[in-house]
Amino acid sequence: MKRIFYTIAVIFFANMAIAQDLPVYSQYLQNFYYLSPAAVGIQPCKELILTGREQWTGFKGAPSTQGIGVYSQFNMFDRNKNTSNGIGISFYNDKNGANTKRRFQFSFAQHLKLFQTRRRKTTYVSFALAASGFQYKFNEAGLVPENTNDPILTGGAESAILLNFDAAMMIYNKKFSAGITAAQLVPSKISFYSTPYTVKKHFFGFFSFKRVNRDGFGFEPLIVFKTTGTTHQIDLNTKIHLNNFMHSGISYRHNLDVGTGESLSAAIFFGLTQKNYAIHYSYDFATSRIGRYNLGSHNIALSLRICNKKDRACSAYGSW
């Protein structure tokens, strides 16, 4: 019986690794870099972000993701600040059962001033390109097959290294943002699976606006639409700003593929800030059938911003 369970688990995670081609997050409102490389350089500062996510805790072999990112704004071409630039370097390690995926990414964004209203509210547009190096690894050492003489399983590990690219555009000011992202534009193939798998393109569209009063109280909804061309998903998020130091919120994820779709998960989150430091935590609970077999997902992020002397508040869109 135990072997049968492991066999089912291996099949499940092998297929889930393909379906979940990119890591899953629930902190888009705290970290727009998850959505778009066009957000790189949106803050007039240098930023370090550490992230960790344990998905479906209590389920053996469930996805586990760790990441680090460094981002910075700088002016390369325009001393009048009609344009600015951003660069970002990030790395994540995503383990999913016998599958491990690592990505190193370099992002470059160009921010252009579109117009400024009489109240000196400036709207910008940004364009970005990102180059990524991926390592895909499948390790059979931890598998317990039903048939130990199965010739397909060798008991070893196989890996592949691929290069891919993302492109993105974003329009934003201190009150709203909207953008589109095309990720994994090169349809590369991974050949060490039992059937060759082509890495899927991912497309994101998002819109958010922000209403916060002088005391720091307000709200910030965000809608995210994701598609691979064959699968479609929508995320609904709302961030509540309690004051200048605390926030909380909720998130809901829904699959749109069949009829009215399927509820996937919901999340609650909160965050604390102190000067240029911040900590964000979210707890997801699956609303689909797999929720019966796990204790939910945990996502935590630690952030540090080193701001320019003239912009100590780092008050551009996407602030804490």
pLDDT per position as a tens digit, 125-175: 999 999 999 998 888 765 656 666 666 666 677 888 999 999 999 999 988
Please give the residue range of the domain that contains residue 297: 2-311
Let me know if residue 54 belongs to a domain. yes
How many domains does the chain contain in total?
A: 1
Nearest alpha carbon to residue 201 among 222, 230, 223, 173: 230
Q: In this predicted structure, what is the pLDDT of residue 139?
A: 81
Q: In this predicted structure, what is the pLDDT of residue 69?
A: 95
- CATH number for the domain harbouring residue 216: 2.40.160.40
What percent of the chain shows pLDDT beyond 90?
A: 45
Amino acid at 227: T
Let me know if residue 150 belongs to a domain. yes
Average pLDDT over residues 58-77: 85
Hey, how many other C-beta atoms are within 10 angstroms of the C-beta on 310? 6
Average pLDDT over residues 12-40: 72
* φ, ψ at 39 (rounded to 5°): -80, -10
How far is residue 211's CA from residue 219's CA, in Å, rounded to a whole number?
A: 6
Strands 189-190 and 202-209: unpaired
Let me know if residue 194 belongs to a domain. yes
Top-confidence residue, 308 or 307: 307
Average pLDDT over residues 33-43: 91
**Mean pLDDT computed over every residue of the chain:** 83
How far is residue 42's CA from residue 319's CA, in Å, rounded to a whole number?
A: 10
Q: In this predicted structure, what is the pLDDT of residue 22?
A: 77
Let me know if residue 69 belongs to a domain. yes
Top-confidence residue, 234 or 78: 234
Q: In this predicted structure, what is the pLDDT of residue 257?
A: 81
Average pLDDT over residues 104-132: 90
Report residue 5's pLDDT band, with 50, 70 and 90 as the boundaries. Answer: very low
